[in-house]
Structure formats: C-alpha cells, structure tokens
C-alpha cells in the first residue's frame, strides 16, 4: 500500500471523473492521498474532499505563484481551516524563481509569514522550491532554534541539497520525474538519501510518470514512481511501499 503525499484533486482536470480517479487509486493500492491547498479557494475545496473520504487528508496554504494576491484576511481564514481535524500540513508554500508569477520580494515575505504561522500552530510545512535553493535555505536558517518538520515537495535539486534539507529536519518527496530518461540527478537523490526521509508523490494532475508521461497524472500513478525508486535502491517493492507509507503517516500524524 502506498500514500500519494501530494496531489491536487480539487483542480478542474478532475471535474468530470473525480470519483473514478479516486476509485482507481484505492483499487490499485493507494492507501491514503494528501490533497494540497494552493490558495484560499483550493484549501477550502481540499478540506471538503478530505471530509468526504476517510482516506483523504488535506492541507492549507498559499503557493508562491499567488503571493501577490495574499492578504492578512486570507491568512486568518486559512488559520481557521487549519484547526480542522483532516488538515495535516501547511502548504504548498515556498519560492518559485523560475516562473516568477509573483514578485520575488512578495514571495519571500509570504513564505516567511506562512512558515511562522505553521510553526506557531504546530503543523508541518510543504515547501515548493524551484530555482531557489539558496534563498529557501537562507530563510529556513534564519528561524533560530526551530525544529523544522515538513516536506521539500517535487524535489528537483541535487543530492548535496537533499542532504542539507534532511539535516534541517525535512523529508524529500520524489515525483514521477524520476522515471524520465534524463533524470540522472533525481535518480541519484532517490537512490541515496536516507530511506526514513523519503516520500513519493504524483503532484497530480501534473508530471505523469513513464509510461503515462504526457497524460493527465492521477494518484494511482504513484505506483510507477515507487516501483522505479524501489528498483534503483534494489529493494522489494512491498518493502519500499511499507517504509514510505510509514514515513508519511508519522510525518502527518495519521493512522
């Protein structure tokens, strides 16, 4: 049994067949799904989904793409949602200096604010990091005497960066990109980092793994990612699935 540690089930990509997508995942051995909030509206929808299905959990947060739109009122509303039992983390938050859909200064400001809120209420964080290793590490290091807990999601940096994040207390979540032919850097990360800090994810509907590359991603496809990494690590798939599932349950404090 596997857990998809990061999916976006509230997105319009699933508006016509969401129940079928969820049924396929369950029938295919996906035990839990964490559906991720990226703004206020999606955080509300994610929680609604989590409340409908026992095996789905949700998060709240503002994605760096939307940093320019965040207000204090929005953040206060998210804090109210964060008290709900099925909310297990604050995120997706972070920095995206590749697409730069929001001003960099605003991204940094909103990222810091959300880190502080998550720390104050005791939730792990889910961090989006694109072309911003230096800046994110600097911000995290500025939180003195703070025990970090959370995920560097859809990991795309190198092995050295992975170890740095792990040393800070984070888990590393590997997406379907690891199945791509040219993903040597990510394959090294997936095969070498400590197993107790490794998670798998789809980031559905994005980044479908081989052999589904180019199609809409869905939680069932996390099995392709897990099988690839189990092979890289020369492990039995069942053992790898059990360990990464336990990692995710421990991090999010779910049964």
Q: Where are the alpha helices (DSSP H) in the chain?
A: 18-27, 40-52, 72-81, 104-121, 133-141, 159-168, 184-192, 222-232, 237-252
Q: Average pLDDT of 166-174?
A: 97
In the chain, what are the domain boundaries? Answer: 2-252
pLDDT tens column, 111-135: 999 999 999 999 999 999 999 999 9
Alpha carbon distance 253, 235 (integer Å): 26
| pLDDT at residue number 130 | 97
Containing 95, the helix (H) or strand (E) segment is strand 87-96
| Cα atoms in the Cβ-side hemisphere of radius 13 Å centred on 149 | 17
Sheet with strand 198-200: strands edge to edge: 2-7, 30-35, 56-60, 87-96, 125-130, 150-153, 170-174, 198-200
46 phi/psi in degrees, rounded to 5: -60, -40
Structure tokens at 231: 């092979």
The position carrying tokens 């009122």 is 73
In this structure, the number of other CB atoms found within 10 A of the CB of residue 212 comes to: 16
Q: What percent of the chain has pLDDT over 90?
A: 97
- 78, 40 Cβ separation under 8 angstroms: yes
pLDDT tens column, 19-71: 999 999 999 999 999 999 999 999 999 999 999 999 999 999 999 999 999 99
Any idea which architecture 2-252 has in CATH? Alpha-Beta Barrel (3.20)
47-53: long-range contacts, CB 8 A cutoff, minimum separation 24 = 47/81, 47/84, 47/86, 47/87, 49/9, 49/10, 50/86, 50/87, 51/84, 51/86, 53/22
Which three-class secondary structure state does DSSP give residue 5? strand
- 226, 207 Cβ separation under 8 angstroms: no
| pLDDT at residue number 86 | 98
Q: Measuring CA to CA, how many Å separate 219 from each of 3, 22, 169, 244?
A: 9, 8, 26, 15
Structure tokens at 224: 């392709």
| pLDDT at residue number 147 | 81
Please provide the average confidence, as pLDDT, over all residues in the chain: 97
- 96, 107 Cβ separation under 8 angstroms: yes
In this structure, the number of other CB atoms found within 10 A of the CB of residue 69 comes to: 13
pTM: 0.97
**Confidence bin at 211 (pLDDT 50/70/90):** very high
Alpha carbon distance 114, 120 (integer Å): 10
pLDDT tens column, 136-152: 999 999 986 678 899 99
| Length of the chain counted residue by residue | 255
| pLDDT at residue number 148 | 87
């Amino acid at each position: 049994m596997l857990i998809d540690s990061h999916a976006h089930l509230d997105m319009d990509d699933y508006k016509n067949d969401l129940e079928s997508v969820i049924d396929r995942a369950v029938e295919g051995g996906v035990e839990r799904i964490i559906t991720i909030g990226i703004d206020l509206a999606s955080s509300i929808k994610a929680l609604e989904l989590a409340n409908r299905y026992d095996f789905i959990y949700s998060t709240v947060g503002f994605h760096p793409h939307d940093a320019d739109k965040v207000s204090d009122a929005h953040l206060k509303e998210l804090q109210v949602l964060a008290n709900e039992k099925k909310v297990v983390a604050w995120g997706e938050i972070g920095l995206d200096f590749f697409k730069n859909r929001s001003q960099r200064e605003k991204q940094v400001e909103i990222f810091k604010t959300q880190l502080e809120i998550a720390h104050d209420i005791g939730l792990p964080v889910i961090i989006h990091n694109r072309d911003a290793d230096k800046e994110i590490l600097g911000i995290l290091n500025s939180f003195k005497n703070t025990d970090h807990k959370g995920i560097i999601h859809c990991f795309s940096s190198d092995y050295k960066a992975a170890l740095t994040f792990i040393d800070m207390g984070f888990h590393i979540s590997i997406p379907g990109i690891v199945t791509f032919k040219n993903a040597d850097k990510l394959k090294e990360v997936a095969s070498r980092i400590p197993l107790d800090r490794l998670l798998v994810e789809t980031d559905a509907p994005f980044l479908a793994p081989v052999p589904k590359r180019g199609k809409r991603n869905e939680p069932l496809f996390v099995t392709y990612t897990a099988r690839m990494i189990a092979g890289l690590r020369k492990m039995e798939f069942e053992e790898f699935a059990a360990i990464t599932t336990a990692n995710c349950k421990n991090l999010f404090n779910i049964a």
